[in-house]
C-alpha cells in the first residue's frame, strides 16, 4: 500500500484581504517567514530525505495564505520551484489553500499549467450569518460557485470547515458538513475555532462578547460531523488544529478547545456512544471484538471507554479482529 506524504510550505497571510476574526496565521502556523524559491527546494529535499517508505505518493502543499490572491507572477514563482520534482518523479502532486472569492477561470488555467492537482477552499461555514459575523468577506454562494468551477476544470476539491465561530450552532455546523458533501468535495478539515492572541475574537472574548466552545462541546459536535463525511467517503485530512509550538506552550492560545490529541478524543467519544448499548448485557466477563485499526479508540483516550465497561463487568477484554470493518464490533458475555 502506498504511503501518502504531504510536504507543507507555509506562506502566512499572503494576499489575505480580510483579517478574519479568528485568524492570526503567523501565530497559528508557527511560521512568520515567507520562503523564496531556493528555500522551497531545500524544504522539499529535506522532507524527501526524511521519508522512510519508498512506495509512496508525495505532494507539496502551499498553506497559510490565500495562494491564488497573490499576483500571477508570484504564483508562478512558488509553483516553478516544484516543477523539477514533478519532472523527476520525486513529487506527484501539488495542493494549495485559498479563498472561495479568489477563484476564476484565468486562475484555474494558470494552476493547471503548473500541474496543481488539489485546491482547498477555506469555506469555514455555509451559513451566511456566521460568515458575516466572522468577517470572512465572502458568501456561501461564492463558495458554491468556486467549488463548481474547480471541479469543472478537473481539480480535486477540498473544503475546510470551522466549528464554533461567532453565531454558529450545532445545527449550522451539521448543515455546513452536509453542504460540503453535496458540493462534491473529496477531502475536508474540521477545525474548532480557537481564541488566538491579537485577533478580533481575542478582543471580543475579553469583552465578554464571544464564548468559544468548551472542550466537551467541540468533541460532541465533531463526533456528529465526522461520521457524515465518512459515510459520504469524503476524506477528513485533519481533525483539530495542528499542535504548533506556540499553541502547545500556551503563549498564543488565549482560550478554546485545543488539545494535541483532539482527534483521538473525538473518536473516543464516538466509540463511547456505540458501546453504551452493552450496558444492558448481563454477566461478569465481557469480550469485545473490534477492528484492528480502531482498537485504541475503542479502549479510549486514557482508557476511558474500557473504564466505563469495567464499571459494569468484572473482567473486560478488547480484542482486535481483522474481519471487522469500519466501526463494527461483536461481543460475548459470560
pLDDT in tens, 243-289: 664 566 667 889 999 999 999 999 999 999 999 999 988 899 999 99
Give the other-Cβ count within 10 Å of 199's Cβ: 21
pTM of the model: 0.90
Please determine, for residue 24, whether its predicted confidence score (pLDDT) is greater than 80. no
Q: Please tell me whether residues 68 and 216 are part of one structural domain.
A: yes
Are residue 174 and residue 311 in the same domain, yes or no? no
Q: Are residues 82 and 221 in the same domain?
A: yes
Query: For 70-94, b where at least 16 C-beta lie within 10 A, e where not — what string?
Result: beeeebeebbebbeebbeeeebbbb
Grid coordinates representing 79 are: 509553483
Buried b (16+ CB within 10 A) or exposed e, 23-35: bbbbbbbbbeebb
Q: Are residues 53 and 107 in the same domain?
A: yes
> Is the predicted pLDDT of residue 204 greater than 90, yes or no?
yes
pLDDT grade for 70, boundaries at 50, 70 and 90: confident
Rg of the Cα atoms in the chain: 22
pLDDT value at residue 12: 62
Chain segment 134-177, per-residue pLDDT in tens: 988 899 999 999 999 999 999 999 999 999 999 999 999 999 99
Residue that is written with C-alpha cell 504511503 in the block: 3
Q: Say if residue 248 is in the same domain as residue 278.
A: no
The answer to whether residue 295 scores a pLDDT higher than 90 is yes
Length of the chain: 334
33 and 138 share a domain? Answer: yes
| Total structural domains within the chain | 2
pLDDT by residue (tens digit) across 218-250? 999 999 999 999 999 999 999 998 766 456 666
Q: How far apart, in Å, are the Cα atoms of 317 and each of 313, 320, 322?
A: 10, 10, 16
**Confidence class for position 298, pLDDT limits 50, 70, 90:** very high
Looking at every residue in the chain, the average pLDDT score rounds to 91
**What CATH number does the domain containing 51 carry?**
3.20.20.70
- Return the HEC string of 8-53: EEECCCCCCCCCCCCCCHHHHHCCCCCCCHHHHHHHHHHHHHHCCC
Q: Are residues 282 and 223 in the same domain?
A: no
Q: Give mean pLDDT, residues 50-58.
A: 92
- 280, 220: one domain: no
Lowest pLDDT segment from 19-28, 38-47, 283-292, 322-331: 19-28
Structural domain includes residue 267: no
Query: 268 in helix, strand or coil?
Result: helix
Query: Is 137 a domain residue?
Result: yes
Question: Are residue 153 and residue 242 in the same domain, yes or no?
Answer: yes
Averaged pLDDT, 40-56: 94
pLDDT of residue 246: 54
Q: Are residues 249 and 327 in the same domain?
A: no
Residue-range definition of the domain harbouring residue 191: 3-260
Same-domain pairing of 193 and 122: yes
* Confidence (pLDDT) at 257: 96
Residue 209 DSSP class = S
Q: Please tell me the distance from the alpha carbon of residue 190 to that of residue 193, in angstroms, as a whole number.
A: 10
Residue with cell 479568489: 102
Distances (CA, A) of 1 to 55, 57, 189: 7, 10, 23
What percent of the chain is modeled with pLDDT above 70?
A: 91
Same domain (yes/no): 254, 280: no
3-state secondary structure of 111: helix
Amino acid at each position: 500500500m502506498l504511503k501518502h506524504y504531504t510536504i507543507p510550505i507555509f506562506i502566512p497571510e499572503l494576499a489575505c484581504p480580510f483579517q478574519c476574526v479568528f485568524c492570526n496565521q503567523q501565530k497559528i502556523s508557527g511560521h512568520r517567514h515567507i520562503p523564496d524559491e531556493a528555500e522551497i527546494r531545500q524544504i522539499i529535499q529535506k522532507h524527501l530525505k526524511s521519508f522512510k517508505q519508498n512506495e509512496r505518493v508525495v505532494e507539496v502543499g502551499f498553506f497559510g495564505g490565500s495562494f491564488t490572491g497573490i499576483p500571477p507572477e508570484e504564483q508562478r514563482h512558488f509553483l516553478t520551484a516544484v516543477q523539477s520534482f514533478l519532472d523527476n518523479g520525486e513529487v506527484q502532486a501539488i495542493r494549495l489553500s485559498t479563498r472561495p472569492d479568489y477563484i476564476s477561470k484565468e486562475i484555474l488555467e494558470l494552476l493547471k499549467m503548473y500541474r496543481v492537482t488539489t485546491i482547498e477552499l477555506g469555506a469555514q461555514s455555509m451559513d451566511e450569518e456566521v460568515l458575516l459575523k466572522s468577517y470572512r468577506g465572502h458568501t456561501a454562494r461564492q463558495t458554491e460557485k468556486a467549488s463548481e468551477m474547480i471541479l469543472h476544470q478537473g481539480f480535486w476539491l477540498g473544503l475546510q470547515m470551522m466549528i464554533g465561530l461567532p453565531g454558529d450552532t450545532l445545527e449550522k455546523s451539521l448543515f455546513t458538513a452536509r453542504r460540503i458533501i453535496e458540493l462534491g468535495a473529496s477531502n475536508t478539515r474540521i477545525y474548532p475555532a480557537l481564541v488566538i492572541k491579537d485577533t478580533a475574537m481575542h478582543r471580543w472574548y475579553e469583552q465578554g462578547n464571544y464564548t468559544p466552545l468548551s472542550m466537551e462541546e467541540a468533541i460532541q459536535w465533531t463526533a456528529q460531523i465526522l461520521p457524515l463525511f465518512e459515510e459520504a467517503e469524503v476524506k477528513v485530512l485533519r481533525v483539530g488544529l495542528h499542535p504548533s509550538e506556540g499553541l502547545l506552550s500556551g503563549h498564543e492560545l488565549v482560550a478554546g478547545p485545543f488539545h494535541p490529541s483532539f482527534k483521538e478524543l473525538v473518536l473516543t467519544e464516538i466509540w463511547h456512544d456505540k458501546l453504551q448499548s452493552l450496558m444492558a448485557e448481563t454477566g461478569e466477563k465481557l469480550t469485545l471484538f473490534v477492528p484492528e485499526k480502531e482498537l485504541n479508540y475503542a479502549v479510549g483516550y486514557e482508557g476511558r471507554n474500557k473504564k466505563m465497561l469495567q464499571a459494569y463487568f468484572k473482567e473486560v477484554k478488547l480484542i482486535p479482529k481483522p474481519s471487522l470493518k469500519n466501526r463494527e464490533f461483536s461481543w460475548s458475555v459470560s
